[in-house]
Amino acid sequence: MQEIRSELPGHTIIKCDSRQWSDEQLIDFVKDADIIALTNRRLSAAVINSALRLQLIAVAFAGIDHIDRDAANKRNISVKNAAGYANTAVSELVFGLMISLARHIPDNNRRIREQGITNTGIELKNKVLGIVGYGAIGAEVARLAKAFQMTTIIYDRKSQVTLDDLFSQSDFVTLHVPLTNETKGMVNLRLLSQMKKSAYLINCARGPILVSSDLKKALEQDMIAGAALDVFDVEPPLSANYSLWEVSNLIATPHIGFNTREALVAKGQLTIRNIKEFLSSRL
């Protein structure tokens, strides 16, 4: 907060931890706001429309699917995100999860503590990596894959490669599309059933892109070798009886893709820059 106040002198800045707040509580808090800055908390049309002076929603996050864009657009409220702040952090986590899957690192960690026999893994070299979505993070994943001497298959809007081809040919599939009406539920049992039995799925994008019940079925029935998820159909923390905890060939992390010291610094800097640029444009 001290840094924000020093960067934005002459402005009144009020902070709250709204993660457990209802919309009604948030409506009362933002009613006089000219600018709302937030991370990944849902911002509904009701909250947006209650802030009659609102001009800017500054999202300290890459994705903006939790913002009601229709409500903002109807009132010409600008929405700015911290684009690119976590490209390196997320891309590196993808490879951390990929290696963890390939070498059974969590399982072997458990086995050595129980005096068990090691689980033999595979190498990334010469494997086929399917990248679904080729924005900045997808491109960075492809660059890192080259260093591991992997072959990449890319799927995006301009690609001639079909999702069916990518899923059937890849040894690893990693998801990097934004969450939209078109991408919600795009990875379902039909696609998962086309993967090699030896293949792995990684999702560090958005949870609802993947139908979790279909993934559970694919893992339980050994349609694929395993999966690693940093995102889920609901935002962590997850309940102790979350359905995917019943499967063993899954590595899960609590949405940590963005959570490095370097990325958090970059996120703050980008958010402040977006606010300052917006204020300057209004002079």
235 belongs to the catalytic site: yes
**Burial grade of 169 (CB within 10 A; 0-12, 13-18, 19 or more):** middle
104 belongs to the catalytic site: no
Q: What is the DSSP letter of 25?
A: H
Question: What does DSSP say about strands 172-175 and 151-155: parallel, antiparallel, or unpaired?
Answer: unpaired
Cα 160 to Cα 165, 190, 194, 228, distances in angstroms: 10, 20, 18, 27
CA-CA-CA-CA torsion sign (90, 206, 175, 84): negative
Q: DSSP states of 79-134 as a string?
A: EEE-TTTTHHHHHHHHHHHHHHHHTTHHHHHHHHHTT-PPPP---STT-EEEEE--
* Choice among 7, 41, 235, 273 that is catalytic: 235
Amino acid making up residue 200: Y
Q: Are 171 and 128 in contact (CB under 8 A)?
A: yes
Residue-level length of the chain: 283
The three state secondary structure string of 203-234 is ECCCHHHECHHHHHHHHHCCCCCEEEECCCCC
Helix (H) or strand (E) holding 143: helix 136-147
* Choice among 206, 262, 277, 282 that is catalytic: 206
* Choice among 255, 261, 262, 282 that is catalytic: 255
Take residue 255 and report the two structure tokens written for it.
């949405």
Amino acid making up residue 250: L
d(CA 142, CA 131): 8
Active site residues: 206, 235, 255
